[in-house]
Amino acid sequence: MGGRTIKHILIALPELNEGHRERLRAAGAGNDIRFVEANEVAPADIEWAEVIVGNVPAPLLHEPGKLEFYQLCSSGADAYVAEGILDRRTILATCTGAYSQTVAEHALASTLMLQKNLHLYRDAQRRHEWTDMGRVGTMEGAVVLVVGLGEIGCYYARMAKALGAYVIGVKRRASEKPDYVDELYLTAQLDEVLGRADVVMSVLPGSAATEHFYTAERFRAMKRSCIFVNCGRGNAVAMDVLEQALRGGEIACAAVDVFEIEPLPASSPLWDLDNLLVTPHASGFYHLPATVERMVDICVKNLAAYLAGGELMNVVDFNTGYKK
């Protein structure tokens, strides 16, 4: 904590109401607090701050030497662990857990939409065509492979299991298998189970280790009837590789919320694929009111804990980009 008793705290959180602000003021009581909209943060604000709460544009940071603690409002930290952004002595924490429900429910809704051909029926509706789209799938008895069994992956796995799926989880570090997961493997073992999946749901974070994780070879290893859902990071899948897998019938269809280039360029051929459901990185935003409440809860608790010298949640390892 250093010798200072009064900290300069910059709060740049979205969607705040006065009740949220009061909770943040209470957590930082006795310190100098400045509320600024994230897109209005100036270099002078960053130079002033010893604590930042919220995602200010990463290029503004330039390793600010005074910054002791940075509490992100996102679950991902990839933009902030890059070289030249934050001093490695800065404690960095995320809002992992705040987005679990909204992202997992979006992923499940996308899965069911594709299983039931609802995307095709919507297309037919726009053409004013009364067309039966044929056979559909079900979660009952489906093998669902969740790649990235963190907070979001676990939430999705619980819902899939409740609908009768056989759930296989893949994660980076070994841990005890949750009751709602039938089999658990390490990331290095993915290729052993990839070909068994009827649904592959990916929530991998963005890092050097996950860039272009889903290679052409891995798509070819999947069942031709497989549904691929990506609500993690866009860099896990090269867009040309995804296009080839869908055009070539290597997988049946996909629902993708994240892309290597965002916004997805209007000229991208991905827009025109009938077997691809595109959403604009909307699964983890603040459309679900409960997400904002969870985000504020985490920020309030971590701010209070930092100022009191207590234990912090979701502290990030700069070397891996993952939670420690």
Q: Which residues carry out catalysis?
A: 233, 262, 281
DSSP state for residue 255 in the 8-state scheme: E
Cβ atoms 97, 317 nearer than 8 A: no
| Beta bridge partners of residue 71, listed in sequence order | 53, 93
Phi–psi pair at 233, nearest 5 degrees: -130, 145
Neighbours of 169 (CB within 10 A): 23
Q: How many residues does the chain have?
A: 324
Tokens read off for 207 = 């890092």
Q: How far apart are CA 324 and CA 322, in angstroms?
A: 6
How far apart are alpha carbons 217 and 191 in whole angstroms? Answer: 10
List, in sequence order, every beta strand (DSSP E) within 73-226. 91-93, 143-147, 166-171, 183-186, 199-202
The pair of structure tokens assigned to 215 is 């290679």
Listed residue (14, 49, 19, 16) closest to 31, CA to CA: 49
179 Cβ contact list (under 8 Å, min separation 6): none
User: CA-to-CA distance for 185 and 209, rounded, in angstroms?
Assistant: 17
Query: Are the CB atoms for 13 and 289 separated by under 8 Å?
Result: no
